[in-house]
Amino acid sequence: MSRRLFSRASKHIVLSLLSVAIIGWLACANANADVGVNTNVDVGDSGIPEVTQVVSSHVVQSAPIESAQHCLVASVGVHSVLVRPTSMLFVAAKATGGGYFSWWKLLLIVVTYLVWVKSADWVNQDVVKIEKEAELNAVTWNVVGVLVMLAGFFAAISIPMFWIGYPLMLIATLAPLLFYWIVRKGKLKESQVLRRKLNPKKYENESSEQLTQDLGVAMSINAAGESDSDRKAALIKARRSSGFVDFKELLHQGMLKRADLIQIDYTQTQAAPRLFVDGTWHALPNMDRAKGDALLFSLKSVAGLDPEERRKKQAGDFSLKSEIGKANLHVTSKGVKAGERVRVTYVQSKDILTLPNLGMFPSMAKSFVGGLNRPGICIVSAPPTHGLTATWQGMLVTVDRLTRDCIVAMDDQETESSIENITPKEFGSDDTAAAFLKKTLNAQPDAIAVPRVPSPEFMDLLSLEANSQQRSVWMRVQAFSASEALLKTYALAGNRGDFREAVKYVTCQRLVRRLCDHCKTEVPVPPKTIQKLGGDPSKIKTLSKQWQLPPPEQRVDENGNPIEFPPCGVCGGIGYIGRIGVFEMIKVNDAIRAALKKTPKVAAIEAAAKESKAKKTMQSSAYQLVLMGVTSIQEVQNVLNKK
Task: Give residue 14's pLDDT.
Answer: 53
| % of the chain beyond a pLDDT of 70 | 80
Q: What is the DSSP letter of 307?
A: T
| Separation of alpha carbons 266 and 48, rounded Å | 98
Judging by beta carbons within 10 Å of its beta carbon (0-12, 13-18, 19+), is residue 471 exposed, middle or buried? buried
Q: Name the helix (H) or strand (E) containing 83.
A: strand 79-83
In this predicted model, what pLDDT tens digit does every residue of 252-304 receive, in sequence order? 889 888 888 999 999 999 999 999 887 788 899 999 999 999 999 999 999 99
The CATH classification of domain 355-511+585-614, taken from the options 3.40.50.300, 3.40.50.2300, 3.30.450.80, 3.40.30.10: 3.40.50.300
Among candidate residues 470, 498, 474, the one with its CA nearest the CA of residue 485 = 474
**Which of 424-433, 557-566, 628-637 is predicted with the least confidence, judged by mean pLDDT?**
557-566
How many CA atoms lie less than 13 Å away from 453 in the CB half-sphere?
25
Task: Give residue 375's pLDDT.
Answer: 95
Report the 10 Å Cβ neighbour count for 560: 6
The domain 212-347: what is its CATH number?
3.30.450.90
| Separation of alpha carbons 77 and 111, rounded Å | 35
Task: Give residue 85's pLDDT.
Answer: 42
In this predicted model, what pLDDT tens digit does every residue of 100-154 receive, in sequence order? 567 788 888 888 888 998 888 888 888 888 877 777 888 888 888 889 888 988 8
Query: Which ranges of 191-227 would DSSP assign to H, the alpha helix?
Result: 192-198, 200-205
**Which of 424-428, 457-461, 550-554 is predicted with the least confidence, judged by mean pLDDT?**
550-554
Domain with CATH 3.40.50.300 in the chain: 355-511+585-614
Q: What dihedral do alpha carbons 282, 286, 289, 290 form, nearest 10°?
A: -110
Among candidate residues 157, 45, 35, the one with its CA nearest the CA of residue 93 = 35
Q: Name the helix (H) or strand (E) containing 262.
A: strand 261-266
- For 391-520, strand residue ranges (E) read 406-411, 422-427, 447-450, 472-478, 503-515
| Separation of alpha carbons 641 and 643, rounded Å | 6
Domain with CATH 3.30.450.90 in the chain: 212-347
Residue 49 has pLDDT above 70, yes or no: no
